[in-house]
Each structure stands twice: as structure tokens, then as C-alpha cells.
Amino acid sequence: MKISTKMKKTLNDQVALEASASNNYLAMASWCEVTGYQGAANYFYAQSDEERTHLLKVVHYLNALGAVATIPAIKSPASSYKSLEGIIKTALKNEQTVTAAIHKMVEIAQKEKDHSTYAFLEWFVNEQVQEETKFETILQKFDLLGRDKLGINEIDKFLAVEASASPEPAV
Ligand SMILES: [Fe+2]
Ligand SMILES: [Fe+2]
């Protein structure tokens, strides 16, 4: 089975997007850890791992088709952040970018009548709904619990619980 050059390029771009998401979440986790937000740190370390499993899904898919995945260079992430709320906002924006990229790929697959890639991408479409909801829910907590020290501490505790919830099945 073959995929088009365009489809291959778009899937390789997705590998780069997932790699960059994983790297950004790792940097966020590290900042949270040194800032004293242990729950948020655990949450973002897990999120970084999760993005890596997404990257691997695409790499395996390309390689299985004989299209050969390109492993990308990754841009340096930010090393410092202003606030936990700022991090969550950035994370949500990042997920919205990823969703848009996935929807674009789905459109290409449809246009090219590439049924296997279309079916492959269905998992990612559903995953992105969850990813955006996750960060929207956390953002909402800042309005509900407040942005003072006590509020942030409650949000950190919430993230600790979320981080210890059972991870998604591996690739
Ligand atoms: Fe992802
Ligand atoms: Fe994600």
C-alpha cells in the first residue's frame, strides 16, 4: 500500500508537532517542579510522555507503509514561565494547533481517498477532543478556586490526582 508524497509529508510534519509538544510539556514540568508545583510537575511529565506515544504512533504507521518516518530536530522550548495559569493557557493553545493540523490531514486523506490514513487518523481526532477538554477544565479551575496561593495549591492538588489517574494504553 502506498501513500502520496503529500500525505507522507503531512504525517512527518505531525511527528514534528508531537515531538515539539512533548518537549514543551517536559520544559513546563521541569519549571513546575523547581517552582514547587509538584502536582502540576507530575501532570506535565505524564503529558510529555503521552505526546511521545502519539509521535511513535505516527512513526510506526509511516514505517509500516514503507514510507519511512523522518525524525525531526526539535526547537528549544521556553526555559521559564510566568505562572501556572499561563502554562495551562499555552498548553491549550498548543492542543488547538495540533487539532487543526490533524483536521487538515483528515481533509487531505479524504481528498486523496486514502482510506487507511483516514482510519488511522480517527484515533487522533477523538484524542484531541479529550486533550482540549482536559486543559479547558483546568483553566476553569482558576476562576472557580481563585488565583491566590490557596487557590493555586488546590489546583496543584487537583493536577496531582489527575496525574496519578490511570495512563492511556501504550502504543
Ligand atoms: Fe499529541
Ligand atoms: Fe496533546
- pTM of the full predicted structure? 0.94
Inside any domain, residue 76: no
Q: Does some domain include residue 169?
A: no
| C-alpha of residue 51 to centroid of ligand 1, in Å | 4
**Could you tell me if 67 and 6 are in contact, meaning their C-beta atoms sit under 8 angstroms apart?**
no
For residue 117, what is the domain's CATH number? Answer: 1.20.1260.10
Q: Which ligand approaches the C-alpha of residue 16 most closely? A: 1
Residue 100 CA to ligand 2 center (angstroms) comes to 12
Q: In the chain, how many domains are there? A: 1
CA–CA distances in Å: residue 51 to residues 20, 98, 110, 136: 9, 11, 25, 18
Q: Is the pLDDT of residue 1 over 80?
A: no
Q: How far apart are CA 130 and CA 123, in angstroms?
A: 11
Ligand 1 centre and the CA of 42: distance in Å? 17
Name the nearest CA neighbour of 14 among 51, 64, 55: 55
Distance, CA 127 to ligand 1 centroid (Å)?
Answer: 8
Residue 91 lies in a domain: yes
Residue with cell 517552582: 35
Query: 102 lies in which domain range?
Result: 5-71+81-164
Question: pLDDT tens, 157-167?
Answer: 999 999 998 55
171 located within any domain: no
